Structure 1
Amino acid sequence: MSAATKLEYGSRFGSSVVKVAKASILAHADPSHSANGAPRYSRWFHGEDGNREPMATSMKKFRKIDPSMAAAEVAAITKENMAILGADACDLFVSRLPREHRMRKAIRSAVLPTAPYFGLCKFGEVVVERAADKFHITQIFITNFDGEVETSDNANFCTPVNNKFDQMLFGVHVIVDRLGNRIGFDRERGEDGLAFKTKNIGQALFHIASESTGIALEVLQTRAAAAKKAGKSVG
């Protein structure tokens, strides 16, 4: 039995993710973009502007998996699909960030060696510090599974917690050389190099907005709460 048949990849990929995303929709809206840099937080799935969360949009573009495919072919298509998901995720987040944000699009997908149906994609980077021979960068990822992220030496970077398809967003702090080659994790930032990890799209937006603007997470949350309250008062 092939990996595709065993996991029913063609019918299951993304189906549970949509349900998770619906439950994780950011509940408040800030339709304006103020001069002080507050993000334009709005509903993500069926919002005022009609945009959908990344997986719901990307599923329409994914290559299909045939049950007869071998694991290597499943892995190749998964890698391609994750790149599509990463690109859509980046576009969606950028559309809701302040104009002065510093996140740049950086698409690089990969598949877990032991699970050809699970993948991740780096879709954004923020340079937070420059030195003569290196850069301190925050990298943003999306996965099609729920898992643990490890930044310790000789540990697996991403490990699924189960065999179910899901969605996870996370950021890591890394140090790279002038050619972009990773030197290692920047463990003096975040929690031992981990900037954030969440399955909630709204929470991810707050974290990415904070990382890409330098505005404290608490300040952004306060602004969004105030905008939500003001919107209710007007209504």
Structure 2
Amino acid sequence: MSMKAKILIVEDEVPICNFIEMTLKSKEYGVLCAKNGQEALSMIPSHCPDLVLLDLGLPDLDGITVLKHLRSWTSTPVIVVSARGDETDKVEALDLGADDYIVKPFGTSELLARIRTALRHSTSIHSGTTQNQFCVKGLKIDFPKRLVTIDSKEVHLTQIEYKIVSLLAKSAGRVLTYDNIITELWGPYALKDNQILRVNMANIRRKLEKNPAAPEYIFTEVGVGYRMVEE
């Protein structure tokens, strides 16, 4: 049997920590627990977890501070699990390098799905593998050919529309903030003009979605960014 990933839970509320620990162990993940930020920062270099579940409201260091410390030296996947549902908190965490953000309370299925996505994305990056195709619900993207089809019919996208779609597809299941996308496509010094991105997204949805008002492929995290449906 293959060895499951090791996950560090950084959570000061004992009932929540116990619940997450029990959920992960039931799926045969290895589990470590830290009750505050300092303990987490001391454990990570020695235990080398494959993923960190990070609460923001810790008793010593704010979770954002912990995230900044981690991103200064490691690319270990970090999923923020927090009661803070404000868009500003989400955007800040994601822009600082969090791989995902889940608002409490959450369902176990959602948590496990987000964990699988973050681990899969991390494995792909570190193994050096490249994704040649993306297929979901009739949508197919052939990256080497730069070809997008729906139910085998070619979809004609502009160059920038294709770049947006392929960027989201390569991070399917993860939310990318508006600034993440703009920086990736137009460079770090581009004006953070969400309106340009929204116009392009409206055009993309008219071409991809049966009903642009109820998208099947690309979902909006209001005030935060976009997420491509997972395969």
Provide TM-score, normalisation by structure 1. Answer: 0.27
Larger relative contact order (Cα-Cα within 8 Å, sequence gap ≥ 6): 1
Q: Which has the higher helix share?
A: 2
